[in-house]
Structure 1
Amino acid sequence: MTTDRGMGGVNETQSAPDVGTLTPDDERRVEAARTSLAERDSILVAFSGGVDSAVVAAIAHDVLGDAAVACTAKSETLPSAELEDARRVATEIGIRHKIVNFSELENPDFVENDGDRCYHCRTMRLGRMYETAHELNITTVCDGTNASDPSEGHRPGLQAVEELSVHSPLREHGFEKDAVRRVADWYGLSVADKPSMACLSSRIPTGLAVTEDRLSRVEKAEAALRQWGFSQFRVRDHDGLARIEVASEELSEALDTDFVIAVRQRLTEIGFDHVTLDLHGYQTGSVSPGGETETDSGDGPVVEDVFETSYPSTE
C-alpha cells in the first residue's frame, strides 16, 4: 500500500487505493482513527481476518507500517478455513502477520459452557495477545469491536475487552457496522461483504460441554455446506443431533431432495446421530446468549442454485 489517499493527515504514503466511496462522516472517522493510532509507538491488532479487525489492521498499517502487527490466535474453536482467510487478508493489507497457539479447552470454565463462555474465551484470547505484544515489545493491543456491538444484546466478551484495557478504535470513533464495511470496500479488502461468523463453540448449546469432538464435527459439517454453495449458515450440535440453519432466502435450496440426501449422508459420516433442518432459518445466538456476536470472522461464497448442483462426497 503505497499510493497517496489524499485525505491529509498522517503518513500519507502508507495507504490503499480508493475502491469504494466514503460518506463525509466516514472520512472524518477514518482520519480521526488514523491520527489516534499514529500517536502510538507500535500496535498489535487482535486479528480474525473478519471485516472489523481487517479495517483496524489496514488503518494501523497505513500509519505505522512495520510497527503494526496483526496477530491471530489459533485454537480448536477457529475453523481452518478462517485461519487461511486471516492469512490471505493480512497479505492483502500488507501487514506483518503472526499466528499464535492457545487452547480454550484448557480452561474448565470455558468447557463448562455457561452463559459467560465468551467472557472466558475472550479473556484467554486477549491475554495471549498481550503476551505476544510483550514478546514483540509492542505497546498497544487493539481489537475490532465496533460502535454497533454494545447495542447487540448480551455481550460478555465486551466485558473482557474493557477489563483488559484493549484499545477499540472503531468503537472509540463511532464506526458502526455499515460504516466499517464501507471503509473495508474503500481499502479494496475482499472481506468488505463477508458474513459474520462466531467461533465454533457458539454452535454448542449453553450447558453442554465444549469438547474437541463436538467442535470437529461442527467444523466438518459447515465445511460441507460451504462447499455446496450456502452463504450464511450454522450447524448446531445438540449432543449428536445436527440442527442446520441457513439464510431464509436459501431455505428452498436446503429442502431440495438431492441436497437432503447428500447432507444427511455426509453429516452421518461425520458422526451425527440425527440431521435436521431448522425451518426458522439462520438466527444468531439461537443456542447460547450472545454467542453469535463475539467475533467477526466470516465464511462462504455466494450461494449457487443448488437445484442444478450435484452433491458429490466432500471427502
Structure 2
Amino acid sequence: MESTQRSVEDKLAAARADLAERDGVLVAFSGGVDSSVVAAIAEDALGADAVACTARSETLPEAELQEAKRVAEEIGIRHDIVEFSELESEAFIENDGDRCYHCRSMRLSAMYDRAKELDIETVCDGTNAADPGEGHRPGLQAVEELDATSPLLEHDITKEEVREIADHYDLSVAEKPSMACLSSRIPTGLEVTEEKLTRIEQAERVLRTWGFEQFRVRDHDGIARIEVGEEELEAALDPEFVAAAREHIGDLGFEHVTLDLEGYRTGSVSPASEDD
C-alpha cells in the first residue's frame, strides 16, 4: 500500500514540476474530479499564473456551472467563464456517433481563444490515463488535434489515483460521480434541440432535489427514462417520489415518465460512444 502511495506521490510531483515550467496554463474546467485535480495541481505549481476556465452552453446544467464556481473558489484558482453554443453546429445537432468530437472541438477552441486573450500558450484538459482504453472516445480525437495538454494522461495518473490526489488537496469533489453534458441523455440519431436540453435539465433537477446522487433522465423523443444508481433504486420506487416524478417531470412535456430497473449505466443510449 505504501509503495502505491509513493507512486501516486511521484506522479503528482512530476505533473506539478511539469506545469511549473510553463509561463502559465489555462485549465478546461468542468468542476468534475478530473479537471478539478488538474486545476489544483496547476494552482499549486503556478499560483496566479494558472486559470480555470468553464465553457457555458446549452448542454451545461446550471447546477454544474454553480458547482464549478464553488470548486474553483475552494481551490483558490482564478475562474473564467466563456460562452459558446454547440447548437450552432449542424454536425452536433445531428447527433451521430461523433457528436462528442464536435462538442469537444468547439469547447476547446473557446478555451484557446480565451487563453490567447490572456497570453497563455498551454491549455490543459482532464483526460486521465484510463480514458483512452474505455471504448470509442471521439472527444479524445479533438484533444489530440488541438494539441491540448493532458497532465493526468501524460503522467499515467488513473481515475483511482485522481481521486487519491483529490483527497490530498482536500477537494470536496473527490468522490463526485461523473456528469456528462446534457446531450448525452439523447439517443444517438435523434436531433439535439434546445427544447430537449431544457426539459432534461429541469427533469434532473427534480431528482437532485430528492437527494439522488447518480442519475440520468434519458429523453427518447418524449419518453423520459429515469436511471438512478443501483443502490438508489429502492428510493426511486418510493410512492411519494413516483408521484412527484410523474407530476413534475410529466409537466415538462414528456408524454411518459418511466424508471429503468437496470439502473444507471454508462452509454445506455449510445453504447458505441463515450457518452455517459
TM over 0.5: yes
Residue in structure 2 matched with residue 89 of structure 1 by the alignment = 71
Residue in structure 1 matched with residue 30 of structure 2 by the alignment = 48
What is the TM-score of this pair, normalised by structure 2? 0.97
Mapping of residues 286-297 of structure 1, within 5 Å: 286-288=268-270, 289-293=272-276
Q: Which has the larger radius of gyration?
A: 1
Residue of structure 1 aligned with 2:184, choices 179, 192, 202: 202
Is 1:157 matched with 2:139? yes
1:291 CA displacement = 4.1
1:129 CA displacement = 0.5
- 1:181-219 CA-to-partner distances (Å, cap 9, x unmatched) read 010011011100101010000000001100000000000
1:292 CA displacement = 2.9
Secondary structure class of the residue paired with 2:251: helix
Structure 1 contact 244–278 (Cα < 8 Å) conserved: yes
Gapped runs of 5+ residues in structure 1?
1-21, 294-315
Residue in structure 2 matched with residue 63 of structure 1 by the alignment = 45
Residue in structure 1 matched with residue 213 of structure 2 by the alignment = 231
1:257 CA displacement = 1.7
Is 1:215 matched with 2:197? yes
Residue in structure 2 matched with residue 122 of structure 1 by the alignment = 104
- 1:14-54 CA-to-partner distances (Å, cap 9, x unmatched) read xxxxxxxx811110000000111111111000000110001
1:290 CA displacement = 2.6
Residue in structure 2 matched with residue 102 of structure 1 by the alignment = 84
Gapped runs of 5+ residues in structure 2?
none
Structure 1 contact 222–235 (Cα < 8 Å) conserved: yes
Percent of matched pairs sharing the same residue? 68
Is 1:241 matched with 2:223? yes
What is the TM-score of this pair, normalised by structure 1? 0.85
Residue in structure 2 matched with residue 76 of structure 1 by the alignment = 58
Residue in structure 2 matched with residue 271 of structure 1 by the alignment = 253
Residue of structure 1 aligned with 2:236, choices 245, 254, 276: 254
Structure 1 contact 145–170 (Cα < 8 Å) conserved: yes
- CA distance in 2 between counterparts of 1:227 and 1:27 reads 38
Residue in structure 2 matched with residue 135 of structure 1 by the alignment = 117
Between the two proteins, the alignment pairs up a number of residues equal to 272
Mapping of residues 152-191 of structure 1, within 5 Å: 152-191=134-173
- 1:234-264 CA-to-partner distances (Å, cap 9, x unmatched) read 0000000000001111111111222111100
Structure with greater helix share of residues: 2
Cα RMSD (Å): 0.9
